[in-house]
């Protein structure tokens, strides 16, 4: 594939509006994380290191966000036939704001993946409670086993998706692209780090979809002078660091550039 990539960086500085979650708040949230299971020891304390990924998540207010906890997987040969097994069950919770009351999202299952909605813009929490077979201890209720629970908390920043106004592409010696009213939420990752929106321009030749040129910048205006002359489809991705707005600028009708050399011969691929 013929590709070009240019990345234009800006200087970063931190303007974070939210401090990390305090240990005492994590302890408070884990203390609230309970399910109807007499074999789980009380109280639940914060242990950490259960959620996969970052301890601070930036999510959209418009749709559920995916969270994953760390599951233990193994193959059990006890019955003579290999069987895929797991050791952990998970319950997931959420809370809106700081030092607030937990809401149960899903009770105990072995599924480590969950989708959680945070439709209110601001700082929130996601909490996972874990029952792990590998940690079971004797002398629980009724002489059965009991389980010391594990608990983890992540900070969730819910914000609006990137937005744009009209986008246009005009042809000539080069192809000029303009995007109006590019906006990212002040709570988004890039805005919190002092960046403008990241804008990626994609120019794809009409005859050969493998001839593609990509430019990443923060400017809402760009002029593309292609290596190969011909008609190009133009696409734009606007990112706030986590969420993306995709725009088909030419909407299936390519724009022509007379600049550059003829495209090398080969099969014509119109798509």
User: Is the pLDDT at 268 greater than 50, yes or no?
Assistant: no
* Residue 13 lies inside a defined structural domain of this protein: no
For residue 271, is pLDDT > 70? Answer: no
Q: How many distinct structural domains can be found in the chain?
A: 2
User: Per-residue pLDDT for 197 more than 70?
Assistant: yes
pLDDT, position 85: 86
Q: Per-residue pLDDT tens for 48-85?
A: 999 999 999 999 999 999 999 999 988 877 777 787 88
Q: What is the pLDDT of residue 270?
A: 40
Residues 43 and 126 in one domain: yes
Q: Please give the structure tokens belonging to residue 149.
A: 């629970």
Distance between CA atoms of 183 and 212, rounded to whole angstroms?
A: 26
| Residue 50 within a domain | yes
CATH of the domain at 61: 2.60.40
With respect to residue 17, please indicate whether it lies within any of the assigned structural domains.
no
129 and 146 in a single domain? The answer is yes
Is the pLDDT at 15 greater than 90? The verdict is no
**CA atoms lying within 13 Å on the CB side of residue 116:** 33
Q: Is the pLDDT of residue 194 over 70?
A: yes
Mean pLDDT across 176-186: 97
Same domain, 99 and 201: no
How much of the chain exceeds pLDDT 90, in percent? 70
Is the N-terminal amide bond of 93 cis, ω within 30° of 0? no
Last residue of a domain, one of 138, 159, 180: 159
23-43 average pLDDT score: 92
pLDDT bracket for residue 269 (50, 70, 90):
very low
The residue from 127, 142, 159 where one domain ends is 159
Q: Which residues pair with 172 in a beta bridge?
A: 257
Task: Provide the domain limits for residue 30.
Answer: 23-159
Buried b (16+ CB within 10 A) or exposed e, 126-158: bbbbbbbeebeeeeeeeeeebbebbbbbbbbbb
| 165 and 126 together in one domain | no
Pick the residue with more confidence: 139 or 112?
A: 112
CA 117, chain centre distance (Å): 13
Looking at the chain, the whole-number percentage of residues with pLDDT higher than 70 is 90
Q: Does the pLDDT value for residue 179 go beyond 70?
A: yes
What mean pLDDT do residues 234-259 have?
94
Q: How far apart are CA 220 and CA 249, in angstroms?
A: 13
Q: How far is CA 101 from CA 39, 64, 91, 147, in A?
A: 24, 20, 16, 24
Checking if the pLDDT of 19 tops 90, the result is no
User: Mean pLDDT in the chain?
Assistant: 88
Q: What six digits make up the tokens of 262? A: 């003829």
Strand arrangement of the beta sheet that strand 175-179 belongs to: 167-170, 175-179, 221-224
Tens-digit pLDDT profile for residues 114-134: 999 999 999 999 999 999 999
> What is the model's pLDDT at position 11?
30
Q: Over 50: is that where the pLDDT of 4 sits?
A: no
Give mean pLDDT, residues 177-184.
97
**What is the chain's alpha carbon radius of gyration, rounded to the nearest angstrom?**
26
Residue 28: enclosing H or E segment and its boundaries?
A: helix 23-32
Contacts of 251 (CB under 8 A, 6+ apart): none
Give CA–CA dist 134/131, Å, rounded: 9
Whether 244 is in a domain gets the answer yes
Q: What does the alpha-carbon distance between residue 155 and residue 171 come to, in Å, rounded to a whole number?
A: 46
Is residue 241 within 8 A of residue 189, CB to CB? The reply is yes
- DSSP bridge pairs for 206: none
In this structure, is residue 12 part of a structural domain? no
Query: 252, 253, 246: which is closest to 200 by C-alpha?
Result: 246
Q: Which pLDDT score is estimated for 265? A: 67
pLDDT at site 168? 96
pLDDT at 12: 32
153 and 167 part of one domain: no
Domain check: are 27 and 102 in the same one? yes
CATH number for the domain harbouring residue 184: 2.60.40.10
Residues 6+ apart with CB under 8 A from 221: 176, 177, 178, 179
The answer to whether position 16 is within a domain reads no
Q: What is the pTM of this model?
A: 0.82
User: Which of residues 159, 182, 211 is at a domain's end?
Assistant: 159
* pLDDT of 3: 41
Together in a domain, 104 and 226: no
């Amino acid at each position: 594939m013929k590709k070009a990539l240019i990345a234009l960086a800006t200087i970063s500085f931190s303007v974070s509006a939210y401090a990390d979650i305090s240990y005492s708040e994590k302890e408070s949230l884990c203390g609230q994380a309970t399910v109807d299971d007499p074999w789980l020891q009380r109280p639940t304390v914060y242990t950490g290191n259960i959620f996969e990924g970052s301890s601070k998540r930036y999510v959209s207010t418009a749709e559920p966000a995916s969270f994953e906890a760390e599951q233990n997987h193994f193959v059990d040969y006890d019955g003579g036939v290999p069987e895929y097994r797991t050791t952990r069950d998970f319950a997931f919770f959420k809370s809106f704001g700081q030092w607030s009351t937990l809401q149960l999202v899903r009770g105990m299952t072995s599924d480590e993946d969950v989708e959680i909605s945070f439709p209110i813009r601001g700082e929130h929490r996601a909490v996972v409670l874990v029952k792990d077979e590998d940690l079971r201890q004797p002398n629980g209720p009724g002489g059965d086993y009991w389980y010391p629970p594990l608990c983890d908390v992540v900070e969730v920043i819910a914000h609006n998706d990137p937005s744009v106004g009209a986008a246009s592409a005009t042809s000539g010696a080069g192809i000029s692209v303009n995007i109006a009213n590019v906006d990212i939420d002040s709570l988004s990752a890039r805005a919190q780090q002092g960046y403008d929106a990241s804008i990626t321009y994609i120019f794809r030749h009409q005859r050969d979809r493998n001839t593609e040129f990509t430019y990443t910048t923060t400017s809402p205006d760009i002029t593309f002078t292609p290596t190969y002359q011909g008609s190009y489809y133009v696409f734009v991705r606007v990112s706030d660091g986590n969420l993306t707005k995709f725009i088909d600028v030419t909407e299936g009708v390519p724009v022509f550039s007379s600049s550059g050399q003829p495209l090398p011969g080969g099969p014509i691929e119109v798509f």
